[in-house]
Amino acid sequence: MVEKIIAYRLNSLDQTMSQLNKEDCVIIAGGTDVMVLHKSRRGVPPKIPKPIVFIDHLSELKRVYQNHNDLHIGACCTYSELLENPFIPIALKNAIKTIAAPAIRNRGTLGGNICNASPAGDTLPLLYVYNAKLLLRSIKGDRIVAISDFIQGVRRVQRDYNEILAEIILPSISEEGAYVYFEKVGNRNADAIAKVGFAGYIRIKGAVINDVRFAFGAVGPTMVRSFDIEKKLIGKTIPLTNADIAQVVAAFDKIIKPIDDQRSTALYRKTVALNLLRYFLSKKQYQQI
């Protein structure tokens, strides 16, 4: 017999937050991860152990706007909507174009990719190098948390049962001299889960590096980023020397510890990750955001 599922689709964000406060529910935005996570036998509806709250229709979670220099992205914007939006940086659009196929992009959301906290989530390396902050909302109020604090491990996030991820904030998005780069390595250009993801950010004044950030995806339980290694490059000039590049690559070689799985081997992942880093550091010119 098919089990009954209790599902709420409430008219406003306030009503949805009140419901979440009353009852521990599974939030569904696009459902493209939730449905796979709870799938059961072919032809049988998924088994979701708690009541469901749908949030995909809430207009409060779909706004994209710029506040001063910060870009605010509603957590329930689908990938297809973001691809159409002129505020979204080209690097993020490039990452989105590698995700799944159009049908999934019409349902899947940026907030879902973050809250699902897969090591292979394609938007995550970029969101880490943008120093993304997350606005979490509940009936008790708002809190803002860095993405690197929010994501704690494989499918583990620091979210209270009554909180909704409302916005993703990309601070100081259009700083002069800032360049950002994204690369995903998978079996195909799209519709493939990443074997390795890499994002690099660099801000240059004249030829001097003022800020630099790197994040690697699918090579550890969460994105690999190191402030200590990044700091070593501040004040250096472009193009970097071979010795500087080798030092940074060697430092990441020590901390990147991928695993073998059905998609790739640890050796391949590490080799490719370091090659992408080397390529980014060797550039003589960087592409504008």
Ligand X SMILES: Cc1cc2nc3c(=O)[nH]c(=O)nc-3n(C[C@H](O)[C@H](O)[C@H](O)COP(=O)(O)OP(=O)(O)OC[C@H]3O[C@@H](n4cnc5c(N)ncnc54)[C@H](O)[C@@H]3O)c2cc1C
- Residue 48 as a binder of ligand X (CB under 6 A): the answer is no
Give the closest residue to 240 by CA, choosing from 203, 205, 272, 208: 208
HEC sequence for 206-266? CCEEEEEEEEEECCCCCCECCHHHHHCCCCCECCCCHHHHHHHHHHHHHHCCCCCCCCCCH
Q: Which residue in the block uniquely carries the two structure tokens 């394609």?
A: 122
By the rule CB under 6 A, 107 interacts with ligand X: yes
Annotate each residue in 128-157 with x if it binds ligand X (CB under 6 A) or - if it does not, as one string: ------------------------------
Q: Which is nearer to ligand X, 55 or 274 (CB)?
A: 55
Of 16, 17, 32, 129, the residue at the interface with ligand X (CB under 6 A) is 32
Q: Which of residues 65-104 bind ligand X (CB under 6 A)?
A: 75-76, 99-100, 104
Residue 123 is encoded by which pair of tokens?
Answer: 């938007």
Judged by CB under 6 A, does residue 119 bind ligand X?
no
> How many Cβ atoms are within 10 Å of 211's Cβ, its own excluded?
17
Residue 205 parent element (H or E): strand 196-205
Segment lying near ligand X (by CB under 6 A), choices 20-28, 85-93, 254-262, 274-282: 20-28
Site for ligand X in 185-214 (CB under 6 A): 193
Residue 162 interacts with ligand X (CB under 6 A): yes or no: no
x/- track of binding to ligand X for residues 249-288 (CB under 6 A): ----------------------------------------
Find where tokens 């599902």 sit.
Answer: 7
Span interacting with ligand X, options 24-32, 143-151, 231-239, 240-248, rule CB under 6 A: 24-32
27 binds ligand X (CB under 6 A): yes
Q: Is 28 helix (H, G, I), strand (E, B) or coil?
A: strand
Say which residues have a Cβ less than 8 Å from residue 267's Cβ, sequence separation at least 6.
none
User: Which one among 17, 20, 29, 248 touches ligand X, defined by CB under 6 A?
Assistant: 29
How does strand 133-138 pair with strand 164-170?
A: antiparallel
Binding site for ligand X (CB under 6 A): 26-34, 36, 55, 75-76, 99-100, 104, 107-109, 111-113, 115-116, 121-122, 164-165, 193
